[in-house]
Amino acid sequence: MLIMNKKIFLAHNSCLNAAYDLNVLRAGIEAAGHQLVDRPELADEIVFSGCSVREHWVDDAINQLDQARLRSPEARIVITGCIANTSRQIVQSRMTGGQLSFLPIQEVLLENSELSFAEVDRRLSQEGGNSFEPATANGLHSLRRRVGETKYRILAMLDEEDRRHGTHFVRNYRQTTKGFVFYDEQESCEMITVTRSCPYQCSFCNIPLGRGDFVSVPLQDIVAKAQAAVANGRHHIILIGDEVGNYGIKTGGARFPEMIQAVLSLHPSVTISIRYIEPKPFLKYFEKLLFWGKAGRLQLLYISLQSGSQRLLKAMRRGYDIDRIAKALREFRQSCPTILYGNWLVGFPGEQEEDFQATVSLVRDLDFHINVAIPFSPRPGTPAWVMADQVDPAVIDIRVNTLTEVASELKVALMSQYLAPIASSQCSAILELVWLAEYEQYVPNDQLPAPRPVIPLVLRNS
């Protein structure tokens, strides 16, 4: 039975993909006449979408749920997102008593509105210019904040230089920096989810379990959204999926190249960013991607290689030849202005120093614009959970810090090219902060190195 006029508090600590889906839920709840409140103590019901890709984020989710219960002990708590499918027993064991429900986000929407998730998504425009980060003002304390004080200080300094020189340093920094990319886009764009979940079964990943069966959004829905965005002056289309490169498999319909071409064909000025494409479809469609990249139609590709060690990639069940993918990416990086964004998994079971150094060498060689070092976290239900030769967490920390240092060096070198026109003293001050900003994404503030010498969400129906 549908209960009307509820007061509902929404929160999350999830990725962009799940945050996008939470916005669909938000729109459906509002359409049904419920009131969304900004503090848990005002709520009859609290809906939390949690991440489970790392143990750290599961702990963070449980901490936020504890905060919510403390502040609103009578409210019903509904847990959705990946954590509801992968970590239910862990959450239940650490949160005794109270009203806890675990539901897929589609069922949360149906329960509160009797609306179809696909239909609400179809009608909803999710524009850029809004933050997809967890809201913290009057809400819950979340650890998953991607942009801190140092990055905002950098923006302020770059903005001052832009005003002085008529340059575009702020844009350069925003477009090549984790946290601003996707989560806090300021330039006009449209976010469109095109796939959900992943068809691969990597030995370390619980996304298929957390997100369910791999599905592709119908092509006509994608094109209709993109067409409406273009009509409203938004020509940058961000295509979202846990794996976009396998779009259309097992549907008998359009596949990845046809979907991309259908969007690009809407207007000559349309550009696309893709979050995420796996290496295997990148290789499969390399010539097309290279063509679109050279033509300036691909603004960003998020592609995660995870390791430079072929031995570890086999154990991870990644299924590609690292030398072949590296060769293709070198050509792509040298030929196209496209921004490359990649994750690197550190500390997978059995990782030896030579494996790690192979990753370090590849990171330096490929020189992506954005590199993210991610510590391995064994996830229950995955093959890696029970693998022998688990790496000592202290060793993982050291290696993450080492790879983070490499990523910081690459970022400083990139920004040095952009900042060449300004005075060396001011350039040095900015680059010191760039170094620190890259570092503080991954390690506690008390572990930050000394500065090195420089060598609200608005949704609308379309």
The predicted pLDDT at position 285 comes to 98
Every domain of the chain and the residues it spans? 7-124, 149-187+277-461
Lowest-confidence range among 209-213, 366-370, 454-458? 454-458
Query: Tens of pLDDT along 254-305?
Result: 999 999 999 999 999 999 999 999 999 999 999 999 999 999 999 999 999 9
State the Cα–Cα distance between residues 384 and 307, nearest whole angstrom. Answer: 15
Query: Tens of pLDDT along 132-181?
Result: 767 666 778 777 667 888 999 999 999 999 999 999 999 999 999 998 99
CB 346 within 8 A of CB 356: yes
State the Cα–Cα distance between residues 446 and 428, nearest whole angstrom. Answer: 23
pLDDT average, residue stretch 423-451: 74
Average pLDDT over the chain reads 91
**For residue 338, what are its two tokens?**
């496209």
Residue 104 has pLDDT above 60, yes or no: yes
**What are the residues whose beta carbons fall under 8 Å from the beta carbon of 120, sequence distance 6 or more?**
24, 27, 28, 31, 109
Residue 454 has pLDDT above 50, yes or no: no
pLDDT average, residue stretch 334-338: 97
State the Cα–Cα distance between residues 393 and 143, nearest whole angstrom. Answer: 20
- Give backbone dihedrals phi and psi of 178, rounded to 5 degrees, phi first: -55, 140
Tell which wins on pLDDT, 242 or 135. Answer: 242
For 149-187+277-461, CATH gives 3.30.750.200
Reported confidence tier of residue 460, pLDDT bands at 50, 70, 90: very low
Reported confidence tier of residue 317, pLDDT bands at 50, 70, 90: very high
Reported confidence tier of residue 356, pLDDT bands at 50, 70, 90: very high
The predicted pLDDT at position 1 comes to 54
The predicted pLDDT at position 62 comes to 94
pLDDT average, residue stretch 408-429: 93
The predicted pLDDT at position 144 comes to 66
Would you state the torsion angle of the CA atoms of residues 439, 444, 447, 448, taken in this order, to the nearest 10 degrees? 30
Residue 248 has pLDDT above 70, yes or no: yes
Query: Tens of pLDDT along 108-125?
Result: 999 999 899 999 999 999
The predicted model scores a pTM of 0.92
Residue 449 has pLDDT above 60, yes or no: no
Give the Å distances, CA to CA, from 393 to 185, 253, 377, 432, 449: 34, 46, 9, 29, 20
Query: Tens of pLDDT along 24-71?
Result: 999 999 999 999 999 999 999 999 999 999 999 999 999 999 999 999
Residue 129 has pLDDT above 80, yes or no: no
Would you state the torsion angle of the CA atoms of residues 117, 122, 123, 125, taken in this order, to the nearest 10 degrees? 110
The predicted pLDDT at position 137 comes to 62
Reported confidence tier of residue 184, pLDDT bands at 50, 70, 90: confident
The predicted pLDDT at position 183 comes to 86
Residue 75 has pLDDT above 50, yes or no: yes
Which CATH superfamily includes the segment(s) 7-124? Flavodoxin domain (3.40.50.360)
CB 23 within 8 A of CB 459: yes
Quick check: bond before 276 cis, omega within 30?
yes
